Structure 1
Amino acid sequence: MDPGSAAPLGFPTVQVSGPVLLGELGTWGLFGALSVQVYTYYQAFPNDNWSTKSLVYLVSAIELVDTILMTHGAFSAFGYGFGDFTALTNIDFDWLSIPIMVSFIGQSFYAYRLYVFSKSWPIFVLILLISLTSTIAGFVTGAFSLQAGNIALLDTRKVAVAVGLWLAASALSDIIIAICMTYYVSPSSQPLVALTGLVLFLAFPDQSYYITPSYLLPKLYANCILVVLNARCQIVGGRATYTSTTDHAATPAYLRTGTTANLVTIDREALSNGGNDDIELKHTGASDIGGRV
């Protein structure tokens, strides 16, 4: 290692590397969860309209690119740049990951759902404006990061204002969404991670602890979008939904949508007779129709 790349005496290396490492590990974990959610959506809802499908696959594509960029940064800092102070504090592609627009997409998605339930334009517009403010502040933060090129050079007033506005607006939007979802729909599980990031930023202004929740925000929003869409699935024959004494074969995923589509079930006892007898099909829908095959 080049001696010139060693950290300055007294530099809080762990306070920089720790939040970055935790944020990147959390990002990879959340991307795995997102991949499962996307696969579930693909299997369960082939007949969704094109706008919903476009939303899902756009968010997935953005998060895939974001994960690749963050992996590149992690390998630069902790792989071939291990022990190199310059590699550790290098902005790399974080300037592009910071203003990622999935947070805006996620908040807009919830704003639209609230409008559908409440029919209130003011709430819809308010959330959009606050989310847009957060997104613009994120882009400004990204521009300052690109200009600085190094984490050690970000300790300026203009960067602090941009980061504070970015996290504060995102947290405010989350709080409004959580309150409105609780009032109009049901208790919301939307994580207020942006609020955590804002608290860490204000409580430790000279540290980079806020980086961890900032890294996690986009993928949390992406997962929340998929969770809402996949909540329409129904597990047939599961522990919480099992209501019949007849043990049925598994229902294809595309039928688990909560619609009134008719289902055909096959008694497991009929399947265990070795195929020597006729199998009785039971048609469940508006009426029961028996048949023989």
Structure 2
Amino acid sequence: MNSTANSPGFAIVKLSGPLLLAFSVDWALFAVLTVQLYLYYQAFPNDMVFTKVLVYTVYCITLTQVIFVTIDAFNTFGYRFGDPSALISTAFRWLWLVSPIFGGIVACIVQSFYAFRLYRFSGSWIAPSIITFAALGMCGMGIFGGVSGRESLKLGVKLQTPTVVISTIILVGTALIDVTIAGCMTYYLTKSDPGFRRTHTLVTKLIRLSIETGVITALAAILTLALFFGIPGKTYFAVPSSSISTVYANTLLAVLNSRFQILNGRTHVPTSDIHISIPSNLPSTVGGPMASITREEFSDGSNQAMELKQMNGSATAV
């Protein structure tokens, strides 16, 4: 193995390039996850304890993963910088733990959370139960595959057939679960759309979010398979494979953080407010401000008017 990396004419970038991209993608996704966690902490202090525990558990698992990824990166490009054999002996030292085990646990947690949300929308336990049991099965296979393939995941060592089969089943199964979740959420949300403008906007947003998160997570698994089988003997598959858990964690926070809106942002319903206030220095028989009228006109032409009258210190809404 070492002779291959040190042989004349060998393009070392074929080994180091994908590894550097894999490490960089992990760090970048973790940085995005940290920002999302901060936004969640600031915006939803009154969430249920269960939801908070779920979020912080996923973040801690992802943090642990990034620590192991950083150890591999530092051993490869730090302690043994310039040594081609380090790309074989140290680059994938913890990949067996990062990708199948951590990735499987985070994927199981997130998919089970989606299954619970699906139950809340549909009122049926059938599809959510199937999704949850399938996610638990993929998680168990991921732990078994990671432990059994600990040695064979090193670069230059031919993967054993059972490890390849288990990894393929896990990735295909994970992608199918994500697509199923997106399809079920789209169906039930579309079915429950009452047709009112503001409610329809919210339902459309949830449908789009369900499809986007499902496609992103499924794409990470499919891309790993495509690179592994399409470019055998290379490390390109490590880029999407090592980032699967951080992708799932980011989609979870994206779903939770989608509940708040940025005022006057691109998705905010435009309004025009007309405030008419009668100055308090005008003469009045009752004293004080006579009236304060606020009119809010929505973009669809509907009007909502409210008149506040204050007389002798008492306010009345009309």
Select which of 1, 7, 24 maps to 2:5. 7
- Matched with 1:77 is 76
Contact in 2 for aligned 1:20/1:212 (Cα 8 Å): yes
| Residue in structure 2 matched with residue 130 of structure 1 by the alignment | 134
Cα deviation, residue 123, structure 1:
1.4
For 2:171, give the aligned amino acid.
Answer: L
Aligned residue number for residue 26 of structure 1 = 25
- TM-score using structure 1 length: 0.76
TM-aligned CA distance change 1:205 to 1:5, over 3 Å: closer
TM-score normalised by structure 2 residue count: 0.71
Q: Structure 2: where are the runs of 5+ without partners?
A: 190-206, 278-291, 297-305, 314-318
The alpha carbon displacement at 1:46 in A equals 0.6
Distance change in 2, residues 1:62/1:117 (3 Å): same
- 1:212 and 1:288 map into 2 onto residues whose CA distance is 60
- The alignment's C-alpha RMSD in Å is 3.1
- State the aligned residue count: 257
Shift of 1:172: 1.4
Give the alignment partner of residue 143 of structure 1, picking from 134, 144, 147.
147
Which AA in structure 1 matches 2:231?
F
Bigger share in strand: 2
- Within the alignment, does 1:102 sit opposite 2:106 as a pair? yes
Structure 2 distance, partners of 1:63, 1:117, is 29
Report deviation, 1:5. Answer: 7.8
CA contact (8 A) 2:43 2:260 kept: yes
Task: State the alpha-carbon separation in 2 of the partners of residues 202 and 126 from structure 1.
Answer: 29
Amino acid at match of 1:65: T
What secondary structure is seen at the aligned counterpart in 1 of 2:63? helix
Aligned partner of 1:256 in structure 2 is none
Q: CA separation of 1:214/1:206 partners in 2, compared to 1, >3 Å: closer, same or farther?
A: same
C-alpha separation in 2, matches of 1:30 and 1:50: 25
CA contact (8 A) 2:115 2:128 kept: yes
Percent pairwise identity = 39
Gaps of 5+ in 1: 248-266, 268-280
8 Å Cα contact 2:95/2:153 also seen in 1: no
Q: 1:7 touches 1:85 (CA, 8 Å); kept in 2?
A: yes
> 1:148 offset after TM fit, Å?
4.1
Separation in 2 of the partners of 1:206 and 1:6?
Answer: 12
Helix, strand or coil: the match of 1:147? coil
**Quick one: which amino acid aligns to residue 40 of structure 1?**
L
Take 2:176 and 2:236, find their aligned partners in 1: how far apart are those partners?
20
Amino acid across the alignment from 1:151: L
The corresponding residue for 2:168 is: 164
Shift of 1:52: 0.5
Q: 2:116 aligns with which of 109, 112, 134?
A: 112
Q: Which residue of 1 aligns with 2:212?
A: 189
Q: Give, as a single letter, the amino acid of the residue that structure 2 aligns with 1:95.
A: W
Code of the residue aligned with 1:201 in structure 2: it is F
**C-alpha distance in 2 between matches for 1:28 and 1:7:** 27
Alpha-carbon distance in structure 1 between the residues aligned to 2:233 and 2:86: 20
Q: 1 CA distance for matches of 2:13 and 2:249?
A: 29
2:162 and 2:293 map into 1 onto residues whose CA distance is 69
The CA deviation at 1:119 is 2.5
Q: Distance in 2 between matches of 1:130 and 1:42?
A: 31
**Residue in 1 aligned with 2:192?**
none
C-alpha change, 1:134 and 1:204, in structure 2 (3 Å) is: farther
Q: Indicate the structure (1 or 2) with the bigger Cα radius of gyration.
A: 2
